[in-house]
Amino acid sequence: RMWSMKYFLLVASPAVAYGFAPSFGPLAGKGGNKAPSLRAASTPLDLTMAARVPFIAGNWKMNPTSVEEAISLAKAIADGKGSSKAQVAICTPHPFLAACKPHLDKGGIDLGAQACYFEQKGAYTGATSTSMIRSVGAKHVIVGHSERRTVFHQTDEMVNQIIHKVLADNMLPILCVGETKEEYESGLNTQICAIQLAKGLKGVSKEDAKKVTIAYEPVWAIGTGLVCDASVAQDVHKFIRGWLANMYDQETADTIRIQYGGSVTPDSVDELMSKPDIDGCLVGGASLDPAKFTRIMNFK
């Protein structure tokens, strides 16, 4: 496919601005395609990296369909955490936040929300503010998930406003970035991530950036059953950490946790978590199955 020069400059410039060469061409995968060149150095295996506690977050999306089912699921997940070495959070639909919290607390699991708005209150029908979410005990908020971007037309500018609001209210954002299937097949994965990171973290201080978790979610692998090879995911995570080092500094980049999200399963979690720049997983469908999520929480 031919790309216009205007689009080339739009996509390449953020990566170039932060010290990365554009990496056009198909990404490695089935069919023997070559992986794009990634200049960012992977995180050194030092004490800074060891201090990044693994973070597994479950995203229930618009599930289940009743508070009774939500409570039952929360209890089962809390029972399954056991001696997991990871920090774990469950992001429930807003109506279930308060009901699930005491049951998740028993298992040492954090409560998170799936979305919020950037205004505190007002005439915004259907919106939920950070103060509302925080008042029922939520600690984390997913920001910029691909489904919010595509289904609800959330822009990068809105994502940035929400990030600032979440941080201002002393909550912890999980900022999602990632490419579509078309962008993936055109080798634009790192460029898209660079654009979304630059816009999403605009104006965020180094101190606040350390409170943000980045979730790399290749859109083509979300809810599709398609698998992103762990080595490919590691390459993108390495790029993201290098981008953060250029944006802030190496110490900040080494502090920020980067999750992988995209059809994570019990069969894929161990290999993903063995990679040096993958610090956790943002789990969708498997978080609705206590047995599967228990295995993911207790990765090897």
In the 8-state DSSP scheme, what is residue 256?
S
Has 183 been annotated as catalytic?
no
- Report strand pairing: 280-283 vs 213-216: unpaired
Contacts of residue 233, Cβ cutoff 8 Å, sequence gap at least 6: 216, 218, 260, 262, 272, 275, 278
Assigned token pair, 185: 């097949």
The active-site residue out of 147, 179, 183, 217 is: 217
What's the CA dihedral at 25, 29, 30, 31 to 10 degrees?
30
CA distance 295 to 300: 9
61-66, Cβ contacts within 8 angstroms, sequence gap of 24 or more: 61/93, 61/114, 61/147, 61/284, 62/93, 63/93, 63/288, 64/288
Of 220, 147, 216, 150, residue with least CA distance to 181: 220
The active-site residue out of 103, 145, 179, 183 is: 145
Has 185 been annotated as catalytic?
no
44, 90, 107, 187, 297 from 84: Cα distances, Å: 24, 15, 10, 36, 6
Assigned token pair, 57: 């977050």
In the 8-state DSSP scheme, what is residue 94?
G
Query: Three-state DSSP class for 156?
Result: helix
Q: Which residues pair with 55 in a beta bridge?
A: 87, 280
CA distance 292 to 18: 39
| Catalytic annotation, residues | 145, 217
